[in-house]
Structure 1
Amino acid sequence: MTLTLQRVEAPDLCEGSEWTVVDQDVLAEQIARIAVGQYRHVARILLGAGASAANVIQAAKKDAVALLSLKPEEKPWHRDGWVFQAISWIAAHSDGSVAIRAPHLIKAHKGFDGLKLEFSDTGAVTAVVVFEDKATDNPRDTIRDDVWPGIVRLEQGERSNELSQEVSALLETQLKSFPDLDVDAAVQEIAWKEARRYRVAITVDKSHANAKLRMALFKDFDSHAPGDTSRRLAETMHVSDLRPWMQAFANLVITKINGLPDNV
């Protein structure tokens, strides 16, 4: 286990958990596998299926190292954002979910940070979860000024074409498990607001370390995404000094990338 997720109660406001890194070394290796394009290898491990070591071509290693590296004078925001999105993707597997969109490999990606589908026991799609993943030194400002407006736009129907396309592609990956799944009907079903859920994951420091302060961080979540509490998912990862931690962790991931077995 690389992460533990401790549930945090915020009655009537949101549901969610706090993430704690249990094994940074293993987490770095998993991020390294994602960076070289082997997310399926990581997913099998996260879902308990196990996976044998997979070799990696040198070109993939080179691209992965570039993804984790900063050019001279380059700010770390996009690199750190990608790393946190990859950690978020790993955390999303904690409940055994399999319908999670593959992590992207672009530092300045402008699409959805992540997507997950939830199913009933009969295979019917019950919800689409839209991820908002933010690695930031200013969590409350980021949520208020960036995340909330984005959620409002989605609630108003903006980006519906993009969401439908992403969900369609994700649903098609489930046809093997649910051969009777009507992809088009499922897409229509999740177009309704109540079927959309929002999972806001953000880095925090000690200023939001307890439940009361954490609740203040997500203030007004219920007014921007109204409805049942299950529509509002709030995730936090405590990092005392974000940018130095991210730099050290990125360096560790690069070490793991270079240590992956070569495909010769």
Structure 2
Amino acid sequence: MIELDEVEANVIRATIFEDKCTENPRKKFKQEVLRSFGDYHNDRRCNELVACAVALIKESDINGTAATKAAARVLDRACRSYRASLTVSSHISSAAKRAKLFKDYEVILDQLNQDQRVAAIFTVDQPLRDWFDGLAGQVLTVLSKYEGRNV
């Protein structure tokens, strides 16, 4: 995600997301999310960052040299933030348990402020597939009602 300055043709924040649904959030965070974030943070995936920024900036009113300069801002660590979001059960409800879940976030993303490292959880207390099946059914019901009225 990129956030653009309202006045100048410039990127003020580029956020790299890893949103994961899993039944083992610590393992997923440690083995996949941190590895991915480390690759971005240590500039091993610069081409992907710039390509995504260019694609997003094309959708704005920025073009030409200003667009190129804006896209290059995603390479500046001061402009970058990371958001890890994981599904968890309600047993991870205390601050201490959440801290344990996101342990080593600051180690992998060194030289960043705490506000550049977002750690989010989404609590689901039933089997994930069942929950998503229920959600999908609700979405389809709403869409079919909407479509019936608006087509």
Per the normalisation by structure 1, the TM-score is 0.51
Q: 1:121 to 1:256 in 2, by over 3 A?
A: closer
Matched ranges for 1:204-215 at <5 A: 204-215=88-99
1:165 aligns with 2:54: no
| 2:123 corresponds to | 238
Aligned twin of 2:2 = 117
Give the letter for the 1:148 counterpart.
L
1:194-233 pair list within 5 angstroms: 194-226=78-110, 227-233=112-118
Aligned length: 147
Amino acid at match of 1:240: D
Aligned to 2:42: 156
Query: Once superposed, what is the RMSD of the aligned Cα atoms?
Result: 2.2
Q: How does 1:89-128 map to 2 (within 5 A)?
A: 116-120=1-5, 122-123=7-8, 124-128=10-14
AA at the equivalent of 1:255: T
Q: Identify, as 1 or 2, the structure richer in helix.
A: 2
Structure 2 segments unaligned to the other structure (5+ residues): none
Q: 1:156-185: per-residue Cα shift (whole Å, max 9, x none)?
A: 22222122111112122221xx68981111
Amino acid at match of 1:143: F
SS of 2:22 mapped into structure 1: coil
Q: 1:180 to 1:250 in 2, by over 3 A?
A: same
Instruction: Check if 1:139 corresponds to 2:45.
Output: no
Residue 125 of structure 2 aligns to which amino acid in structure 1? S
SS in 2 for 1:197: strand
- 3-state DSSP of counterpart to 2:147: coil
* Unaligned segments of structure 1, at least 5 residues: 1-115
Change (3 A) 1:173 1:252: same
- Taking the aligned partners of 1:179 and 1:167, their CA distance within structure 2 comes to 12
Which residue is 2:67 aligned to? 183
Residue-by-residue CA offset, 1:160-215 (whole Å, 9 max, x unaligned): 2122111112122221xx68981111122221223221111111112211222111
